[in-house]
Amino acid sequence: MSSLNAENPVGLSPVPLCTLVDMTDIPRVGFRGTQSAEYLQARGFTLPDTPNRAVTQTDGSHVARLSQTEYLILGSRHDDGERIADEEARWELDHSANYLLPRQDSHAWLQLSGVCIAEVMAKLCGVDLRAQAFGPGAVAQTSAARINVIVINADMDTTPCFQILFDRASLEYFKGAVLDAMDEFNAR
């Protein structure tokens, strides 16, 4: 006979309050230059109006504007980032307008989702990432667990979701720090 409790009267596994997924194998790329916006719009991307904002595309990919002329594009899980990998492969050098910034080898990528993500990140980061201060589409370029990170609020439907990018060499360290911060929550 299985043990039952008041919080879980039927003995089922509790629903996790947050989930961490390693997205490092999904393509991502950056573009920088005075003509980057025009280039990306011509390629069919919808862009944020201001720096430190992100827009989710209809295919599930994300475009984050990191500065006046720099964009970071994250592939979609729906196509395993194929569209973004194709964009990187098709890019043609135009020294006066637009530079490709490969990010596959330089940046690791974790997705933290669930109702407690702001609380988890509060254990690692001094920036207020609660929904009222850091709403959907917000981008923070900050420090967490003593490394530089880019945090993108990319809510999925009704589920809070952060896309977190950082130095790829720090993947195991940062993943461990996030998992440790998630420990008091029902995390997976």
Q: Is the per-residue pLDDT at 188 higher than 90?
A: no
Q: How far apart are CA 130 and CA 91, in angstroms?
A: 37
Q: How far apart are CA 30 and CA 71, in angstroms?
A: 5
Q: How far apart are CA 28 and CA 74, in angstroms?
A: 4
Question: What pairs with residue 39 in β-bridges?
Answer: none
User: Each residue of 137-160: pLDDT tens digit?
Assistant: 999 999 999 999 999 999 877 889
- pLDDT (0 to 100) of residue 155: 82
Please report the domains of the chain, with CATH numbers, ordered by start residue: 18-182 (3.30.1360.120)
Query: What's the pTM?
Result: 0.88
User: Each residue of 13-45: pLDDT tens digit?
Assistant: 455 689 999 999 999 999 999 999 999 999 999
